[in-house]
Amino acid sequence: MATTLANWNGQEMPLEEVKVSVLDRAFLFGDAVYEVIRLYGGKLWMYDRHVGRLKTGLKALRIGGVNIDVLKTRIEQTVENSGIAEALVYIQVTRGVAKRTHHYPEKIEPNQLIYVEHFGDPCKQMRETGVRVISYHDYRWQRNDLKVTSLMANCMAAQVAHENGCIEVVQIGSDGYVTEGSHTSIFAVKDGKILVSPSSSKVLPGITKQQILELSAAANIGLNETRVKKDELKDVDEMFLTGTPEEIVPIIKVDDLVIGDGKPGPVTRKLQQAFTDSVQSWLKK
């Protein structure tokens, strides 16, 4: 097995050799932000958008001392030195190491982790056939717009999906409306128009989600950022999920409810092709 290359505060080493203090606040509190960037053909896909969201998280959590230009240089060097063309690039910034207190300690240095891991695209077949998902109550906190590492509620949901032979859940808020998956954005299609929950404090502004908004506009596919109730899913024609690793995966069944005719629909297929075309066009630049 090839060694996964990491960069820990500017020093490159095998990932398994990275050592983190037990007093790092990411270990104690999940006090950190992260991003996962797809590497296509050795190039960082949607880098500026991912880093923009990372900066938003750093500001909201008041984690200072991060030079984004230096971080970018480290990311690019680690990608180049890894020698991997198809990969996921994981980036995490923690508040740093300090005596355990619930309030933010002052004058500590953030820890920065980067690693580049080969990606074999496990969702490739799923994008062709579609997948079944299950519904699950959304137990998460009220700042889901921030991509932070305190993800226990997401992990609990993902575990339920795993135990039921699914790759994802459709999370349902206390008001009965669909929010998103445990690690993906959830879309529906009705009468040829795409429906998706608007990004808010309860719904992450997904990078692939934003691209779907742009691709649909370019393809003259109607789109409405609106909330959909769970009991309205019986009336939709198509569903799909999106994420950086997943790209666009059709959903053909939610619990025991068959979506549409139980096959990936034409709008989903059109978006999948538009997504592939956009990546290929970008790689040629």
Query: Residue-wise pLDDT tens for the chain (285 aa)?
Result: 568 999 999 999 999 999 999 999 999 999 999 999 999 999 999 999 999 999 999 999 999 999 999 999 999 999 999 999 999 999 999 999 999 999 999 999 999 999 999 999 999 999 999 999 999 999 999 999 999 999 999 999 999 999 999 999 999 999 999 999 999 999 999 999 999 999 999 999 999 999 999 999 999 999 999 999 999 999 999 999 999 999 999 999 999 999 999 999 999 999 999 999 999 999 998
Residue-level pLDDT at 3: 81
Q: Which residues pair with 172 in a beta bridge?
A: 137, 178
* Burial tier of 123 (Cβ tally within 10 Å: 0-12, 13-18, 19+): middle
What separation in angstroms does the CA of 67 have from each of 51, 55, 112, 149, 243? 12, 10, 11, 20, 27
Q: Give the Cα-Cα-Cα angle 12, 13, 16 (nearest 5 degrees).
A: 140
39 closest CA partner among 13, 66, 4, 68 = 4
pLDDT at 2: 65
**Domain 5-118, classified CATH 3.30.470.10, yes or no:** yes
pLDDT tens digits along 174-230: 999 999 999 999 999 999 999 999 999 999 999 999 999 999 999 999 999 999 999
* Matching fold, domains 5-118 and 124-283: no
Domain boundaries, the chain: 5-118, 124-283
Domain 124-283 bears CATH identifier 3.40.220.10? no
Annotated catalytic residue within 43, 59, 124, 147: 147
Cα dihedral 28→7→159→156 (10° resolution): 30
Question: 284 catalytic, yes or no?
Answer: no
